[in-house]
């Protein structure tokens, strides 16, 4: 009997079920007798022994279903070594559950923090295979994460919808896109949606340069401007502050501005004299049905994960390199983020078509 545990951790996304299906179907098609145990609500289920034994039928009809049938939760990596409210050692508890169920492998579908914990468990002696999930596309070592393209589609649609009302009312619109630390989602959605200005964390902005870009469009006869702004967009002034100073400033502004987009909008109104409106698609970017790209990618990633299990190649993260699915050591990726390179050809190509990043 090949016994495999499976959990989904961190924020949900559209293709978690599709990826679990890829793993399960590939294992069931092997010549092994397979038992899959699904842990409920992420690492919490592994800690507290909350799970259910899955059946092959559980993995049928879920290719197009968003969210996760196992549920998920956030368990910050920095707190993994700290006891819970009852004094329980979380890492030891997870190891105990793994051993109690006599698992041969644990499959972790999660983002950067989840894969750091997966690597920790691997270092503690558990057999672990990681699958890269996040709409942020910020996992180091893979060109693409599942969930990203579906989120790009939703964010792009939001920008598309704003175009018509912005043009009708001759307004400046800000569409706030998810992404606290990296700007992949905002960059791709901004490009696909025809945003005029894109603000991402990796390229600190100058509010006066943004105002200049708006005035230049007005001088060219353009009656509206659309900004795609990442949640983590930051001004040049704020980027120069220490972490302590920045935290203090943000706490001060918290009551006045719900997010960075509202702050930018307020300042731009004063700089340009134009009306600025803010739209926040929010968690809609993580919801709904996975698009065809993510369905195909998830199936491939899941199948490769199953192949690693059958070959007993553990401590690996399944990744996409170019058009090929392969794998790397969990330790090679854990604790690292994949940032947008401000000097990349992607950013340069955006500049060539006239998109401003608010920095020059």
Show which residues are catalytic: 136
Distance CA 173, CA 163 (A): 9
Distance CA 109, CA 317 (A): 10
Q: Do 54 and 24 meet the contact criterion of CB atoms below 8 Å apart?
A: yes
237 Ramachandran zone, left/alpha/beta (phi>0; psi -120 to 50): alpha
DSSP bridge partners of 5:
37, 106
Question: CA distances (Å), 90 to each of 52, 78, 114, 314, in order?
Answer: 20, 12, 14, 22
Task: For the chain, list the strands marked E by DSSP.
Answer: 2-8, 34-39, 51-53, 105-110, 128-132, 172-177, 197-199, 225-230, 276-279, 316-321, 324-329
Q: Do 150 and 288 meet the contact criterion of CB atoms below 8 Å apart?
A: yes
């Amino acid at each position: 009997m090949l016994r495999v545990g499976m959990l989904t951790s961190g924020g949900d996304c559209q293709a978690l079920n599709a990826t679990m299906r890829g793993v399960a179907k590939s294992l069931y098609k092997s010549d092994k007798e397979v038992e899959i145990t699904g842990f409920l609500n992420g690492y919490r289920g592994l800690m507290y022994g909350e799970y259910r034994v899955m059946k092959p039928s559980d993995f049928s009809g879920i290719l197009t279903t968003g969210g996760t049938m196992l549920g998920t939760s956030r368990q910050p990596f920095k707190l993994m070594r700290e006891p819970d409210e009852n004094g329980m050692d979380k890492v030891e508890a997870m190891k105990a559950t793994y051993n109690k169920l006599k698992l041969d492998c644990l499959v972790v579908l999660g983002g950067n923090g989840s894969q750091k914990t997966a690597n920790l468990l691997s270092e503690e002696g558990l057999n672990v295979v990681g699958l890269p999930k996040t709409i942020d596309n910020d996992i180091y070592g893979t060109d693409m994460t599942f969930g990203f393209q579906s989120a790009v589609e939703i964010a792009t649609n939001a920008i598309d919808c704003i175009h018509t009302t912005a043009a009708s009312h001759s307004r400046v619109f800000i569409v706030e896109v998810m992404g606290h630390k990296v700007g992949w989602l905002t960059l791709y959605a901004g490009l696909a949606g025809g945003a005029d200005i894109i603000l991402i964390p990796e390229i600190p902005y100058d509010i006066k340069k943004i105002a200049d870009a708006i005035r230049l469009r007005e001088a060219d006869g353009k009656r509206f401007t659309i900004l795609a702004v990442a949640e983590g967009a930051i001004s040049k002034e704020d980027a120069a502050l220490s972490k302590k100073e920045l935290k203090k400033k943000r706490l001060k502004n918290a009551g006045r501005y719900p997010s960075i987009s509202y702050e930018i909008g307020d300042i731009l109104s004063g700089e340009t004299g134009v009306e600025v409106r803010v739209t926040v698609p929010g968690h809609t970017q993580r919801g709904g049905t996975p698009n065809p790209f993510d369905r195909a990618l998830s199936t491939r990633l899941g199948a490769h994960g199953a192949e690693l299990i059958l070959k007993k190649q553990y401590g690996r993260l399944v990744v996409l390199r170019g058009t090929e699915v392969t794998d790397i050591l969990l330790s090679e990726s854990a604790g690292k983020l994949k940032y947008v390179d401000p000097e990349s050809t992607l950013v340069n190509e955006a500049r060539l078509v006239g998109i401003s990043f608010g920095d020059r």
